[in-house]
Amino acid sequence: MTDGGAVAGYRIVENARLDARNTFGVHASAPMLVEVADAAALPELFGYAILRDGPVLVLGGGSNLLFAGDPQGAVLALGGQQVRIIEDDGGQAIVRADAGVEWHALVLWTLGHGLAGLENLALIPGTVGAAPIQNIGAYGVEVREHIHVVEAFDRTLGEVVRLARADCAFAYRDSLFKRDPDRYVVIAVEFVLQRDAAPRLEYAGLREELLAMGLDAAASDSARASQVAEAVCRIRRRKLPDPAVLGNAGSFFKNPIVPAAQAEALQATHASLPVFRGGDDATRKLSAAWLIDACGWKGFREGDAGVAASHALVLVNHGQASGAQLLDLAQRIATSVRERFGVGLEPEPRIIGATW
């Protein structure tokens, strides 16, 4: 296997440092990094034994993973940057974006073309290719609501497949792709977006932020999608540490989903515990941030591994923490929540090089 160069559509870097390729900023390296500029090269690449037979980590912006150790096999990074409208009936359009496109850049591109739908997901770090993996969500919207098709290279079949939304098994921070991480390499995602859609303002704080921006509350139902995106960006900049300044991967834990009876029992003794609908009548979703805060972890620091002072869900690297130290802290947090509340926490980022 040789360096493909520009003609073959990929480039190989041996012993690649990944420190700058993960938003925790922890040290990691890979025996081989393959930068794929043209996804048409994937069938050829997966013909080589090292990719065909070994573990392969597909890496986007590294904003939803923790290198607790080095990845064992090759790392693949997709570079495709094309975004285009492939269907448009004047009211609804389908936008196709390559996996390598930066997510927030796509949100701005769609808004700039008068297309609404992704505005509540503004400023989420990472790439388009990673968006379906955990079905990214924020401010009352999940990306699955707007996914039309995910196009991926299927390592099991050895060919490119097109999966419709219903085939992707999307759930809260979950999908077919997340459950079977070695099978699919997402090449492009097609989104269905509207030219005239009512804004989604039910999430706490959004209407207030629009008001603070000087937009009339009465008019906020007809707020333009780009104003909603701006409101979301303002809230996010206040609440979440910027990974460029303080290494982090956003929320480290998913909100736990528990039986409704357990949620009610917990609320009977802890009236301030926020409880949300769990997706069906029998379950409820609890605020992981509240549970962690109640155990006293907010602002905790040990060496350079810590919990953000502004948000109990966000683990941070103050400088030189290793991935293993951050994982150890996360496990201690989960243990304390389990011991105090009887609730298990699951990490949201993918853990590389160790098991949870």
Ligand X SMILES: Cc1cc2nc3c(=O)[nH]c(=O)nc-3n(C[C@H](O)[C@H](O)[C@H](O)COP(=O)(O)OP(=O)(O)OC[C@H]3O[C@@H](n4cnc5c(N)ncnc54)[C@H](O)[C@@H]3O)c2cc1C
Binding mask 183-202 for ligand X (x = CB under 6 A): -xxx----------------
Q: Which is nearer to ligand X, 186 or 334 (CB)?
A: 186
Dihedral class, residue 252 (left if φ above 0, else alpha if ψ from -120 to 50, else beta): alpha
Q: Which is nearer to ligand X, 133 or 210 (CB)?
A: 133
Select the residue interacting with ligand X from 28, 34, 78, 315 (CB under 6 A): 78
CB of 342 to ligand X, least distance (A): 26
Dihedral pair phi/psi, residue 23, rounded to 5°: -75, -10
CA-based nearest residue to 172, from 253, 115, 108, 248: 253
Q: Is 243 in the site for ligand X (CB under 6 A)?
A: yes
- The residues pairing with 83 across neighbouring beta strands, listed in sequence order, are 97
Contact 32, 13 (CB under 8 A): yes
CA-based nearest residue to 128, from 183, 180, 186, 63: 186
Q: Is 71 in the site for ligand X (CB under 6 A)?
A: no
Helix, strand, coil shares of the chain, percent, nearest 5, are: 30, 30, 40
CB of 64 to ligand X, least distance (A): 3
Distance CA 331, CA 232 (A): 31
Q: Which two tokens mark 268?
A: 């009977």
Contact 126, 108 (CB under 8 A): no
CA-based nearest residue to 59, from 31, 13, 22, 6: 22
Q: In what order do the strands lie in the sheet with 247-251?
A: 247-251, 314-317, 305-307, 301-302
Q: For residue 339, indicate whether it is catalytic.
A: no
Catalytic choice (21, 173, 207, 284): 173
CB of 20 to ligand X, least distance (A): 13
Distance CA 27, CA 352 (A): 12
Q: For residue 17, indicate whether it is catalytic.
A: no
Q: Which is nearer to ligand X, 101 or 286 (CB)?
A: 101
Q: For residue 173, indicate whether it is catalytic.
A: yes
Q: Is 323 in the site for ligand X (CB under 6 A)?
A: no
Catalytic choice (175, 251, 287, 322): 251
* Interface stretch with ligand X, choices 111-119, 134-142, 259-267, 275-283 (CB under 6 A): 134-142
18-57 residues near ligand X, rule: CB under 6 A: 23, 57
* Interface stretch with ligand X, choices 45-53, 126-134, 218-226, 304-312 (CB under 6 A): 126-134
Select the residue interacting with ligand X from 80, 125, 323, 347 (CB under 6 A): 125
Number of residues that bind ligand X (CB under 6 A): 35
At residue 185, the 3 state secondary structure works out as strand
CB of 149 to ligand X, least distance (A): 14
Q: Which two tokens mark 208?
A: 């207030």
Residues labelled as active-site residues: 173, 251, 348
Interaction site with ligand X (CB under 6 A):
23, 57-65, 78, 99, 124-127, 129-131, 133-134, 136-138, 177, 181, 184-186, 240, 243, 248-250, 350
